[in-house]
Amino acid sequence: MFLLRWLRRLIKTILRLIVLVVLIPVAGLAYGFLTTSSLDKTPLPGVADGTPPSALASKIRQAAQDYQVPPQSTWLAYPKWAAVYAARDYAAFVDKDQPSGFPYWSYIGHYWQDYAIVIRVTSAHGIDILDYVVPTVIGTGLTIDGALQWAYENTVGRVTEVIAGKRIAVDIYQAKAAGEYASLLATKPWSDFPYAEKRAGLFAVQPAVGDDSIRTSERKLAFGLADTVKQWCADLTKSLYPAVDDPGPSDIHIWAKGPVGETTRNEPDTLLERDLGADGTVFITRQATLAEMIPRLIDKGVSLVEIGGNDEVLVTVTSSAAITAPEGSRALFSHPVPIAPDTRRTALSVAVRKLHTVLPALAEAGAKLERIYTD
């Protein structure tokens, strides 16, 4: 009877946890939609300007099967990067301050607000529920991790922080580990992070002179347990979804006009694919390099026709003040970076064939290009 009662309690606990996990994205998206406004769904001004000949565009797509990227991919790429930015900001914050002061809830709230806007934009291309699985999982994980850490750091963590009176050796070690995690997250899945290795390194940290033993023990116990759980989850994820051969950095096809051959000659990982004469040139490059490469090409007289087969792309910029969307673009959201309120992140949908005027206009307004999103 005891075993039966125990099993019933276990099943009930598991069911409650499942319900809680399911409710997190429901509550998150409800918050996101309720706290953001509907978007202007009229065609983006300038998006139809200079449309390439349909016969030529069709021929290019047939010649290169991987030329066309799904139109909604540019916006659906943002939620992944929102998690990367949150990890980077956390690492930057704890490199100098205690984790109890990190604005966890601001990052959680911004994620669901921005994701709600992404859904509004992409719904114009038709709803495929599978497109939203990964961003929803990312948001759920971000919420669980952030909420638990906020609760712990502002109770037990804050007590030992006060007792210690300063950042100690284990705090410095965890800050370094947070930086390594943020760097990995930009190129690889979270499950590739060596949590068990970092746990072993944490346990091996020797206190510096004057370090408080209570804070040291508490940090090792808390983060050691967290790393154990994360390693278990990572191993489970890998067993359920076995990794395929790493294809390396993702390529993207760019159709451009102007002195493309001359300007891309010294660009790394860039290959000219097709010379279209007066209609331009198609070349292949790495998606990760676009934010650095495209402004250089524009400065040398190049204009863009299509990126990944699409005539609209999402870009984010950072600035010290609110900016006005230049002609050929439309602002989707803009908010201060929680750990640096004097810096704003703004996301804009931009007509690809207007990038050569939009990006210089943004730079002139004091905005720094952060990323051009493709997939």
- Secondary-structure percent of the chain, ordered helix, strand, coil, rounded to 5: 55, 15, 25
CA gap 326, 304 in Å, rounded: 17
CA gap 67, 21 in Å, rounded: 38
Q: Where are the beta strands (DSSP E) in the chain?
A: 251-257, 271-275, 281-286, 303-307, 312-319, 329-337, 340-351, 368-373
**What number of helices (H) and strands (E) belong to the chain?**
13, 8
Given a contact cutoff of 8 angstroms between Cβ atoms, the answer to whether 135 and 118 are in contact is: yes
DSSP 8-state assignment for residue 188: S
CA gap 326, 117 in Å, rounded: 20
Q: Please tell me the predicted confidence (pLDDT) of residue 1.
A: 61
Tokens of 11: 């099943």
Tell me the three-class secondary structure of 250-281, residue by residue. Answer: CEEEEEEECCHHHHHCCCCCCEEEEECHHHCE
CA gap 345, 319 in Å, rounded: 7
Q: What is the pTM of this model?
A: 0.91
Full pLDDT tens readout for the chain, 375 residues: 666 676 677 677 777 777 777 889 999 999 999 999 888 878 888 888 889 999 999 999 988 888 999 989 999 999 999 999 999 999 999 999 999 999 999 999 999 999 999 999 998 777 788 889 999 999 999 999 999 999 999 999 999 999 999 999 999 999 999 999 999 999 899 999 999 999 999 999 999 999 999 999 999 999 999 999 999 999 988 887 765 444 445 889 999 999 999 999 989 889 999 999 999 999 999 988 899 999 999 999 999 999 999 999 999 999 999 999 999 999 999 999 999 999 999 999 999 999 999 999 999 999 999 999 987
Tell me the three-class secondary structure of 289-342, residue by residue. Answer: HHHHHHHHHHHCCCEEEEECCECEEEEEEEECCCCCCCCCEEEEEEEEECCEEE
CA distances for 354 relative to 218, 263, 285, 305, 368, angstroms: 54, 19, 20, 9, 17
Tokens of 69: 């990227």
CA distances for 138 relative to 22, 23, 58, 263, angstroms: 13, 14, 36, 38
Q: Please tell me the predicted confidence (pLDDT) of residue 244.
A: 43
Contact partners, residue 197, CB within 8 Å, separation at least 6: none
Residue (of 267, 259, 287, 263) closest to 374 by Cα position: 287
DSSP 8-state assignment for residue 65: T
Judged on CB neighbours under 10 Å (0-12, 13-18, 19+), 267 is: middle
Given a contact cutoff of 8 angstroms between Cβ atoms, the answer to whether 313 and 257 are in contact is: no
CA gap 122, 128 in Å, rounded: 10
Q: What is the Rg, in whole angstroms, of the alpha carbon atoms belonging to the chain? A: 24
CA gap 323, 367 in Å, rounded: 8
